[in-house]
Amino acid sequence: MRFEAITWERLSEALAAHVDGSVPGDGGDWLKVGIDGPPAAPTGEIAERVADALRLRGRSVLVVGTGGFLRPASLRYEYGKQDPDAYYSGWYDTGALWREVFGPLEAGGSGRVLPDLWDPVSDRATRSPYVELQPGGVLLVHGPFLLGHWFPFDVTVHLRLSPGALARRTEEPWTLPAFARYENEVGPSDAADVVVRADDPRHPAWTGLRAS
The pLDDT tens digits of the residues spanning 155-190 come to: 999 999 999 999 999 999 999 999 999 999 999 999
How large is the average pLDDT for residues 78-100?
96
Average pLDDT in the 5-20 region?
97
Q: How large a percentage of the chain has pLDDT more than 70?
A: 99
Per-residue pLDDT at 1: 85
Burial of 85-119, coded b for 16+ CB within 10 Å and e otherwise, reads ebbbebbbbbebbeebbbebbbeebebebbbbbbe
pTM score, two decimals?
Answer: 0.96
